[in-house]
Amino acid sequence: MATKEALGMSLEISQEYIYNLTKELLTQSLIETLDAKNTIVQSIVTEVLSTKVDKDGRPSTYRSDENRTYLKYLCEKMIRDEVVSVAEEVLEKNRAALRESIRKEISKKATMDKMTDCFINSVLDSMENRYRTNVAFSFEPITD
């Protein structure tokens, strides 16, 4: 439920109500945009928006994939795309601070010990594999 505080009162709106209202408004606007108010066009628009689709928005061929309508898929995709876009903006804006935080965390002795243990265990585990394992080490002087 979406909740909004206004003048000390809580207003709750059901997500299902918003979804159904959006579906109805979109259906009506598409019908009006096409300037066709006959029953055939209306039923086609309703059918397309109500078509059950898989996670990629394609009409489902398996019953187990039919867990969303095309309209719901489009809404989810739009929201997902916006979340990714905003996250990219925020991360880019804070890139320097994030880089410094990562550098500090990796520089900690405990983190270095964990990374070293992980590396050694990975090498040892891969040597147990029946395929040939090549391991090369190189050392460079530390420059500050």
Measured CA to CA, the distance from residue 85 to residue 3 in angstroms comes to 25
Q: What would the pLDDT profile of 59-76 be if each residue is shown by its tens digit? A: 877 777 667 888 888 889
Burial class for 73, CB neighbours closer than 10 Å (0-12, 13-18, 19+):
buried
Cβ atoms of 50 and 69 within 8 Å: the answer is yes
Sole residue written with tokens 């997500």: 15
The domain spans of the chain are 2-93, 94-127
Q: How far is CA 108 from CA 44, 95, 102, in A?
A: 62, 20, 10
Alpha carbons 77 and 48: distance in angstroms, whole number: 17
Q: Is the overall model pTM greater than 0.95, yes or no?
A: no
The tens digit of pLDDT for each residue in 13-55 reads: 777 888 888 888 888 887 777 665 566 777 888 888 888 888 8
